[in-house]
Amino acid sequence: MMTGASPSGALFLYVICLGFIFPLCHMRLFTNRWAVRITGGRENADLIAEKYGFLNMGQIGGLRNHYHFLHRGTIKRSTVASRGNHTPLLFPVPKVKWIQQQMVHTRAKRTGRTSETHSTLFNDPKWDSMWYIHCDYNCLTDMNIKAAWKRGYTGKGVVVSILDDGVERQHPDLKQNYDARASHDVNGNDPDPTPRYEATNENKHGTRCAGVVAAAANNLMCMVGIAYNARIGGVRMLDGDMTDMVEAQSLSLRQQYIDIYSSSWGPDDDGRTVDGPGPLTRLALENGIRKGRKGRGSIFVWASGNGGRSQDHCSCDGYTNSIYTISLGSTTQSGRKPWYLEECSSTLATTYSSGESQGLGIVTTDLRQRCTDEHSGTSASAPIAAGIIALTLEANTLLTWRDVQHIIVKTSRRGHLSAPDWQSNGAGYDVSHLYGFGLMDAEAMVKEAETWRQVPTQHVIISPERVLRSVYKSSGCCAQHGHHVAYLEHVILRVTITHPHRGDLSITLTSPSGTKSQILAIRPNDHSTEGFVKWEFMTTHCWGEKAVGDWILEIRDTPSPRRNTRLQGDQNYNAIFTTIIHFPHGKLSHFFVGVQDVCVSVPTGLLG
């Protein structure tokens, strides 16, 4: 029997276990809705729901055998998990495999901000203001979007869906490309993703993101989308209670039809939150990359986060930290770090966005059939990237989800992007914790796609758990001979650490090639005593490198004035980590495994 850690296990009362797994720093709200995994089909699920007083609301998105149960006898919001007769500790039904009472999560939209003419190409009124396409206003490195258009790529035949607070489908600059099949209102449980209108126009975010991707061209309206002939849909899912079930349903919507899912939201960027996908959402992402797009894999694009001012680190965001998502950062037109940008080793690449003192933003569609030049933050970078990827998929529809990541790594450029930590990794790629592998290049991506051969099948190797204590030292690690990895893609550290002040910790991983990844940086606002529980940190900085050799892991503890000294003296702090390495399996690749392949360096002051 499983305890609810995975929806693939048998049923146990996950709703009670949650109370012991998650920190109590934020009030938890339980809903009157459950996610249940039941085998035997819809009819069997209906019978079980009726027997135990539930109403089966149907399958959860594209997740087979997972159903949405509603219990009208339970209050809609409660700070206590339900323990009544309608929620038995263990269903005495063999076909019920798993259950999870849905909790409300906080998910924030990632908006960051409080000449030459080019009118000969398009007649859209805001065309001249689209500096990030024209590369003017001190822009020194071109994303080469117009060059990709000149090669004939405009996103035709590619379907993109914006997962957000809704999309104004009747907007005059969107309705030409709007696709109802790529749309749904998860919050309202109906097909129409139109935002809820209110005086403050709070629900403008999704409409703005949609215009960046696929606003129509040459229609005398507003502006031009990056992929102006792509089909665009919207999923209204941010304007209501955000639960694991809501996120999973949104990310699994019509995975054989939608090519690209663009998300410009995530956990609070407050510098103290550690949060990520729940079990259903993880399953939706995994199903997407394995089965979506006829087995080639759905493309999940994600904004890296806007917590720079709070000294947040996007490695504590489980969405941008996932190997299944393409995490996008931002830069200003002059190549400087925007005030909102977070740093981490999982960011894959960068596009232009707001942040410069002149106040230049991204031009796009706005609520109530208007236009705006104030879209901003990594919220704007994600749809720009989604549009560029749409051009790339038009150039080669057979690209897999990993092919797309490889092409981004290969073609992104350091250019004039300013960062103190640029380094050239062992495969010759320039990489930074601010910008990933650099500024995306649309023309270079479509050219690569035209002749691209699919990368070999991905394989995963896992180094078993190691326990680090303050007295533990390890050196002289050696690689196993006879087992060769062609090259690396993603490296993950799954970490469990107990510590009285989580924000004092920093973690670095140095590859055998000498590439140093800042897996976690100090977060001064994170005063949690919860540490990390099987949290997965990820780096892309070793991409293309050889795996054999010594891996140096350093976990540093830098005591802050806010640390609880009483707890510090009473506890024995320790860390457990598991190393997971992703690589393609080619003719010369076999496997690379064993704890001896990871060298652990324990500096003075490690873990107290």
**Residues designated as active site:** 164, 205, 379
Residues constituting the chain: 608
Instruction: For residue 47, count CB atoms less than 10 angstroms from its CB and return exposed for 0-12, middle for 13-18, buried for 19 or more.
Output: middle
Please state, in angstroms and as integers, the Cα–Cα distance from residue 568 to each residue in 212, 498, 525, 571, 608, following that order: 49, 11, 18, 6, 7
Residue 428 corresponds to which tokens in the numbers above?
């010759």
CB 155 within 8 A of CB 394: yes
> C-alpha dihedral over 162, 164, 168, 169, to 10 degrees?
40
Residue written as token pair 């606003």: 215
CB 578 within 8 A of CB 463: yes
CB 188 within 8 A of CB 134: no
Number of C-beta neighbours around residue 156 at 10 A: 14
Residue 98 backbone phi and psi in degrees, to 5: -170, 145
Please state, in angstroms and as integers, the Cα–Cα distance from residue 190 to each residue in 183, 245, 303, 322, 537, following that order: 10, 16, 27, 30, 37
Alpha-carbon gap, residue 15 to 100, rounded angstroms: 6
Residues sharing a CB contact under 8 Å with residue 83, sequence separation 6 or more, in sequence order = 16
Reduce the DSSP state of residue 330 to 3 states and report it. Answer: strand
Alpha-carbon gap, residue 171 to 290, rounded angstroms: 34
Report the amino acid identity of residue 561: P
Residue 606 backbone phi and psi in degrees, to 5: -60, 125
Alpha-carbon gap, residue 436 to 412, rounded angstroms: 9
Residue 159 corresponds to which tokens in the numbers above?
């379907």
Residue 315 corresponds to which tokens in the numbers above?
């490695």
